[in-house]
Amino acid sequence: MASVAKLRQARKRLAAMPANQIKVDSAGAHIASLSLALQERVSALCESGRFVERQVYDENYRPVTKTIILMEADASEPGVQSGRPPPNMNNVHVTVGLDKGGKPASVKIVVGIINQARPNNPNNSILSAVYPCEKDQYDDLDSMLKTLAPQITALLAGGLLVDGAKRAVRLFLTGDYAALCTVLGHKGPSATMPCLNCLSTWSPSRKHSALEAKYMTLQDVAGPRTLRSSTQFASGARVGHSGSGNDGSGSSGTPSERQ
């Protein structure tokens, strides 16, 4: 057994490592470098043989074969920069989740690596930021994401090293409906189009008959949907624009980008 003095020294040494650095600003406390923290976890998973490959499946539910390696030139591609690399590119599945809750109330941003056995265990996820607050409205969230958004952009551009080979990051957004709506600049459940994934309208009305004919309503429980991704993402996938804006134009950015 090590002595208390040695344990304290080891603790100091660990706390001084760049991946464990914490920054504090007026909004809250957050990780100084998200890329380093994620890379450390991924490297630990690879070394212990616990890195699990996650697949993207085709129409016939067969895993898409990954043949492309992330190169320096690929990092500037819109797909890679937006966390949506081609299905045949080697990638790591990463979730970014945001939620307000707990007692004392605070907004927490949690980053998860899906390429492991139990990604939902808090010991296997990274607490990226804690913002003590009573409300998570648009303005509050904007100040919180100011520090995190550039870190995520850097992570997507830089990718992650897995067994010495660079991989792209496939980014998933998670959280409860209210938090997702705030992050994406969506009006929420009372909006004309309340769904974050498709363009279905909320309820039948005479004024919206044209929209209903085109996109269906939430109450129609059969038939294919007009997905936001097919009509909006292609036009919205420019840097600084969200692919899932509320108005269907794809012109709304995340809160921190609207500054």
Partner 1 sequence: MTVDPKQIVVILLHITLGVNGRFLVLATECVIKCKGSAAGLRFTHHLAALLREEVGVTPVTYHGGGFIGRDCHRIGDRSDAICRLLLLELSEEYHTAYKRAWLLWNRVRKLLNRAATATAEEVKQFRADATALVTHLKRSFPWMSISPKLHTLLCHAADFMHLYGSIGLYGEQAIEAWHRRYGQSARKYSLGSKLASAAAFMRSMALEREACESDLTQYGPARKPVVLGAQKATKVGDKRLRPNREDVPVCVAKEEKERKDRKKWADDLHEVATDTIDAHVRREKWARRE
Binding mask 96-125 for partner 1 (x = CB under 8 A): -xxx-xxxx-x-x-x-x-x-x-xxxxxxxx
Size of the site for partner 1 (CB under 8 A): 100
Stretch that binds partner 1, among 1-9, 151-159, 161-169, 206-214 (CB under 8 A): 151-159
Task: Report 27-66 residues binding partner 1 (CB under 8 A).
Answer: 28-31, 37, 40-41, 44-45, 47-48, 50, 54-57, 61
Omega cis (within 30) before 122: no
> Judged by CB under 8 A, which of 6, 8, 14, 209 binds partner 1?
14
| Site membership for partner 1, residue 204 (CB under 8 A) | no
| Footprint (CB under 8 A) of partner 1, residues 174-193 | 174-177, 180, 184, 189
Provide φ and ψ at 113, rounded to 5°.
-105, 115
Q: According to the binding rule CB under 8 A, does residue 172 interact with partner 1?
A: yes
Least spacing, CB of residue 194 vs partner 1, in Å:
5
* Beta strands per DSSP E along 45-140: 91-101, 106-113, 125-132
As measured in angstroms, the least distance from the Cβ of 197 to partner 1 is 5
Q: Mask: binding to partner 1, 206-245, rule CB under 8 A, as x and -? A: ------------xx-xx--x-xxx--xx--xxxx-xxxx-
Say if residue 207 is exposed, middle or buried (CB neighbours under 10 Å; 0-12, 13-18, 19+).
exposed
Q: How far is the CB of 133 from partner 1 (least distance, A)?
A: 9
User: Cα(246)–Cα(187) distance, rounded to whole angstroms?
Assistant: 7
Would you say 165 or 239 has its CB closer to partner 1? 239
**Taking a C-beta distance cutoff of 8 angstroms, is the pair 136, 107 a contact?**
yes
Nearest to partner 1 of 70, 109 (CB atom) = 109
- Name the residue nearer to partner 1 (CB basis): 90 or 229: 229
